Structure 1
C-alpha cells in the first residue's frame, strides 16, 4: 500500500507536465500554416510572407505560407474555416473574403462567424494603372479616350463582382464612360501578366500590388481612389482631387478558426504586432507603397461588421440604378 501511494503521488506530480499543445507553455508545438487565398506573386502573398517571416522568430516556432487559390478567395478561406481550432492555421483575408463572397451568398457553408480576427495589418486604396505602351499616360487622357471610343479601352479587373469591378462600375457612372472590363481571377499576379503582354491598357488594384512594375517603368499610376495622396507615390493624383466620390481599396486581415484557444490567439497577435512594428516591416511597406494599418482583437471584429454594412449599401445603390 505504501509503495502504491508513492507511485500515485509521483504520477500526480507529473501530470501538469503532460499539457495539451494548445496551452501557453507549449505553444507552438508544431508548424503554423498561414493560408493565402490568392496566387503567389500578388500583393497579398508578398505582404503576408514578409510579416510572417518576421513574426516567426517572435513566435518561437516555424511558420509557413501556403497559397490556396480559387473562388475569389473562398477556397482558401474555407480551408481555414474548416481547420482544427488549435492555433496552427491562420488565414489572410482580403476584401473579397469579407465583402464579395459573403454578399454573393453562393456558398451556404461560408460564414465569417467561423473565424475570429487576429488583426488587420494593411488598408490601402485601389488605383488605375496604365502600361508604358498604352496610348494614354494620364487619367484625363484615359477618360478622353474612353469617351471617344466607348467600350474600346481595355481595363483588367480581378473578379466579376469584386471591389475592382465595383470601382470601375462606379467610375463609369461618375464619368459617363464605358470601358471593356476584362476579369482576371486570382489577384494581382495575372493582372501583371496581362498588362505586360498588352492584353489590357490599364488595370485596377493597389499601387503596392504593382510596385515592381512601377519601379521598373512598365506601369504607371494615373489615379488613386483615395482622399489623400500616397506617401510613396505622391505624383499620383486622387479621386478627391478630380471631384469624384469614389474611395475604395483592399486590406489584409489575419484570422483563425473561431474556437482557437485564447493562449494561441494571444501568442499569434503578439508575434504579428512585434513584426508589424519592426523597422524591417515598416520600411519595406513604405518602399513598395503599401499603407500599414493595425486594428486587433474586438476592434478588428467591429471594423469587419461596419465595413460590410457600408459596402453592401454602396453595392445596393449601384445595382439599383
Structure 2
C-alpha cells in the first residue's frame, strides 16, 4: 500500500512538473497588454504608466496594444480566444461589466472566458460644463431639465458606456428626461461642442477632464463618487445635491484569457502588487484621479458580478438608444 501511494505521488508530481517548470520560466518573452480604447484614453494612459515598472519587475518588455471599438466589445472578443499563457493580458475596465450586463448579443462571457488577476485603480466620473455655461451648479442643471424634459443634452463616450449608464441611473431614479449625445474617441469633439454651446454638459473620466479643469477650459458641476474627490474638494457629489446614496465608481483591472496557470497568475499578481506599491507610480496615478488599491482575484471577480447585477436592470436603455 505504501509503495502504491509513493508511486501515485510520484506520478502526480511528474504530471505537474511541466506546469511548474513553465511557471518558473515565466516570463521568457514579450508580454502584450491589450485594452479596448484609443491611444491617449484613460486605459491607455494607465497602461503606459504601469508598463515601465512591470517591465522592470518581470524582466520582459510590456507592449501596449490598443484595440478600440464597440465600447470594448471588439477587444474582449479577440482576447477571449487567445492562448492563456500569460503573454496576452487584458486591461479591462468597469465598462466591460456594463456591456456584459446589458448586451445579450455578445460572443463572449467575461465570467467564463477571462481569469481575473487584480483591480489596480478605481475612479469616479465628473459632470462638466463650459466655463461660460449658465449652469453655476449641478442642481441648476437638473432643475432646468425637470422643467423642460428632453431639452438639455449630455455627452458621453458612447451608448452603453459606464459614463452613459452613470447618467441614466440618475434619470431612471429621478424620472428626469435628457437627450444623450454619444461620442467616439476622446474628449476633443465633446469639448468643442461644449464650448460652442451645442452640448449642455459632458460626463468624463477624471483623467480626461483634469487637465481642462485645471486650465479653466472646463468647469466641474459634480462628481459621481459618494465622497468628494480629494483633488477637487470644492466640487460636490451627486449624492449631496441630486440623488442621496448615489455612488458610481469605475475601475481598471488586469485579466487574461481563461485557463491561466495558477502559478503564472500568482506571479503576475505579485508583479502588479509590487508595481502599485512604488511611490512614483502611486502618486502619478492618484494625480490622474485614481484610487490605487490592489485586489485579490476573488475580490475582482466579486466586483464584476456585483456590477453586472447593478447594471442589468438598465439593459432597456441600451436597446432603445
Q: State the TM-score, normalizing by the size of structure 1.
A: 0.83
In the alignment, which residue of structure 2 is the partner of 1:35? 34
In structure 2, C-alpha distance between the alignment counterparts of 1:189 and 1:260, rounded to whole Å:
38
- Cα separation, partners in 2 of 1:105 and 1:35, compared to 1, 3 Å: same
1:310 shift after superposition: 3.0
The alpha-carbon deviation at position 42 of structure 1 amounts to: 1.6
- Mapped partners of 1:239, 1:210: distance in 2: 17
Q: Report the CA distance shift for 1:109/1:317 in structure 2 as closer, same or farther (over 3 A).
A: closer
Are residues 298 and 239 of structure 1, via their aligned partners in 2, closer, same or farther at CA, if it must alter by over 3 Å? same
Deviations, residues 47-66 of structure 1 (Å, cap 9, x unaligned): 12212222211111100111
The gaps in structure 2 that reach 5 residues or longer are 1-17
Deviates more, 1:109-118 or 1:36-45: 109-118
- Aligned CA distance change for structure 1 residues 110 and 71 (closer, same or farther; 3 Å): farther
State yes or no: 1:301 paired with 2:301: yes
Aligned residue in 2 for 1:73: 72
SS in 1 for 2:108: coil
1:237-295, Cα deviation, whole Å (9 max, x unpaired): 01221251422231112101111222322222111111111111211122222222321
Which moved further from structure 2: 222-231 or 203-212? 203-212
Instruction: Give the secondary structure class of the aligned counterpart of 1:121.
Output: strand
Tell me by how many angstroms 1:305 deviates. 1.7
> What is the 5 A alignment of 1:280-291?
280-291=280-291
Q: Name the residue aligned to 1:252.
A: 252
Is the contact made by 2:77 and 2:107 (CA closer than 8 Å) also made in structure 1? no
> What SS does structure 2 have at the residue aligned with 1:24?
helix
Secondary structure, counterpart of 1:156 in structure 2: strand
- In 2, the alpha carbon distance for the partners of 1:193 and 1:57 equals 40
Identify which range, 58-67 or 307-316, moves more after superposition: 307-316
RMSD: 2.7
- Which moves more between the two structures, 300-309 or 184-193? 184-193
**Distance in 2 between residues matched to 1:98 and 1:170, nearest whole Å:** 15
Q: How does 1:1-321 map to 2 (within 5 A)?
A: 23-147=22-146, 149-175=148-174, 177-186=176-185, 191-192=190-191, 194-195=193-194, 199-242=198-241, 244-245=243-244, 246-313=246-313
Contact 1:118 1:253 in 2 (8 A): yes
Rounded to whole Å, the distance in 2 between the matches of 1:37 and 1:317 is 22
Question: 1:189–1:66: structure 2 CA closer, same or farther, 3 Å change rule?
Answer: farther
Q: What is the CA deviation profile of residues 7-30 of structure 1, one whole-angstrom value per residue up to 9, with x for unaligned ones?
A: xxxxxxxxxxxx789713322111
Query: What do the CA deviations read for 1:39-82 (whole angstroms, capped 9, x no partner)?
Result: 11221211122122222111111001111011210111122211
Give the conservation status (yes or no) of the 8 Å contact 1:98–1:112.
no
**Residues 183 and 243 (structure 1), Cα distance of their counterparts in 2 relative to 1, 3 Å cut:** closer
Aligned partner of residue 240 in structure 1, secondary structure: helix
What whole-Å deviation, never above 9, does each CA across 1:194-215 have from its counterpart, x for those lacking one? 5466542321133233121112
Deviation of 1:296 after TM superposition, in Å, equals 1.9
- Provide the secondary structure at the position in 1 that maps to 2:238: coil
